[in-house]
């Protein structure tokens, strides 16, 4: 199937993510402006600066940079508290996410160009950013917190435990990108997850030992930085890390099946994979509530 015929999935991801997150950012900015104006100013200012930096560094198109800034603002608002310290918010894991994925994407460019898997020179587009970071931002919105609190028996006094689901999604997105990018450079000929047969680097659903190890380590780094930043405790680390690794393998499974069959495009796979990580974290906390998460 022609990949262009599945572009509607990328547009759908944008439609699901951007309006809901934008509404949440407007609501949160207004609320913080009345309570503590500096929180709103710092969050919006730092998010805008991050978007400009990504655009200048050619990590993404202008639309992608704006989308990333919006998603980062939503995540920062979700983890802001008084006394306010910007580095003790979701800004920390988002920054390490950007650093690790950018370094991995830029590694081995010559080999990736030879394989035909190198990223476009203008960087990621808006739908790719939404597919990777959108789910984390969505589950961090106040409306989603209210729904989660009503729908699942996770009884905590703050909304931070629900950031575990967002952190799991961030960990998975980072792990997937790093494992894919470094696996093509360091992993040699990978195996297809469903058949364990050797395939060419860059094949959808293919895994390698080096790429998988890099992905697992990356998930741990993002989960660890996020946990430390918002004082989440050891349980938040283990739940989000484990969920991120689960999502990493789920991503490969989707790539080896639905993407190869022409039913999903890459944005659809990435969005569903981050959703699977968030769902795994939520299921873990629901089945065995862990006081240390929040």
How far, rounded to the nearest angstrom, does the alpha carbon of residue 159 sit from its chain's CA centroid?
A: 19
On whether the CB atoms of residues 91 and 46 are closer than 8 A, the answer is yes
On whether the CB atoms of residues 182 and 248 are closer than 8 A, the answer is no
Residues 6+ apart with CB under 8 A from 45: none
Note the pLDDT tens digit of each residue in 52-79. Answer: 999 998 888 999 999 999 999 999 999 9
Band (pLDDT 50/70/90 cuts) for residue 285 is confident
pLDDT at 3: 63
Own/partner long-range contacts of 259-267 (Cβ < 8 Å, ≥24 apart): 259/204, 259/205, 260/204, 260/205, 262/1, 262/6, 264/6, 264/9, 265/3, 265/6, 265/7, 265/9, 265/10, 266/128, 266/131, 267/9, 267/10, 267/13, 267/127, 267/128, 267/130, 267/131
The proportion of the chain whose per-residue pLDDT surpasses 70, expressed as a percent, equals: 87
Domain count, the chain: 1
pLDDT at 187: 66
Q: What is the pTM of this model?
A: 0.92
Q: Domain of residue 40: give its range.
A: 3-293
Q: Who has greater pLDDT, 156 or 245?
A: 245
Q: What is the mean pLDDT of residues 223-246?
A: 94
pLDDT(275) > 80:
yes
CA torsion angle for 101, 106, 111, 113 (degrees, to 10)?
100
pLDDT at 118: 54
pLDDT(108) > 80:
no
Residue reference for tokens 């993510």: 17
Phi-psi region at 204: left, alpha or beta (left = phi > 0; alpha = psi -120 to 50): beta
pLDDT(294) > 50:
no
Helix axes 91-106, 37-56, angle to 10 degrees: 0
pLDDT(161) > 80:
no
pLDDT(44) > 50:
yes
pLDDT at 121: 61
On whether the CB atoms of residues 280 and 247 are closer than 8 A, the answer is yes
The pLDDT mean for the chain works out to 89
On whether the CB atoms of residues 87 and 229 are closer than 8 A, the answer is yes
Q: What is the mean pLDDT of residues 14-24?
A: 97
pLDDT at 148: 72
Going 138 to 142 to 148 to 154, the CA torsion angle's sign is: positive
């Amino acid at each position: 199937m022609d990949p262009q015929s599945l572009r509607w999935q990328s547009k759908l991801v944008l439609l699901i993510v951007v309006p809901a997150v934008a509404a949440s950012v407007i609501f949160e900015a207004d609320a913080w402006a009345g309570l503590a104006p500096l929180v709103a100013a710092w969050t919006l200012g730092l998010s805008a600066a991050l978007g400009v930096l990504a655009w200048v560094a050619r990590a993404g198109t202008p639309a992608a940079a704006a989308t990333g800034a919006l998603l980062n603002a939503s995540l920062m608002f979700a983890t802001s508290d008084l006394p306010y310290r910007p580095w003790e918010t979701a800004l920390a894991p988002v920054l390490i996410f950007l650093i690790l994925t950018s370094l991995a994407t830029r590694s081995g460019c010559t080999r990736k160009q030879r394989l035909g898997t190198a990223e476009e020179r203008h960087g990621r587009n808006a739908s790719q950013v939404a597919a990777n970071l959108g789910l984390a931002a969505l589950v961090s919105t106040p409306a989603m917190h209210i729904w989660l609190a009503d729908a699942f028996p996770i009884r905590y006094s703050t909304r931070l435990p629900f950031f575990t689901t967002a952190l799991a999604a961030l960990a998975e997105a980072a792990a997937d990108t790093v494992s894919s990018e470094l696996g093509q450079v360091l992993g040699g000929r990978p195996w297809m997850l469903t058949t364990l047969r050797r395939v060419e680097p860059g094949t959808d659903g293919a895994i390698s030992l080096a790429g998988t190890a890099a992905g697992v380590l990356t998930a741990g780094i993002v989960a660890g930085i996020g946990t430390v930043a918002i004082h989440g405790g050891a349980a938040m680390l283990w739940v989000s890390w484990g969920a991120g690794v689960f999502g990493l393998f789920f991503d490969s499974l989707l790539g080896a099946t639905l993407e190869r069959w022409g039913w999903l495009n890459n944005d659809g796979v990435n969005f569903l994979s981050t959703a699977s990580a968030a769902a795994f974290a939520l299921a873990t906390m629901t089945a065995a509530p862990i006081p240390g998460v929040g």
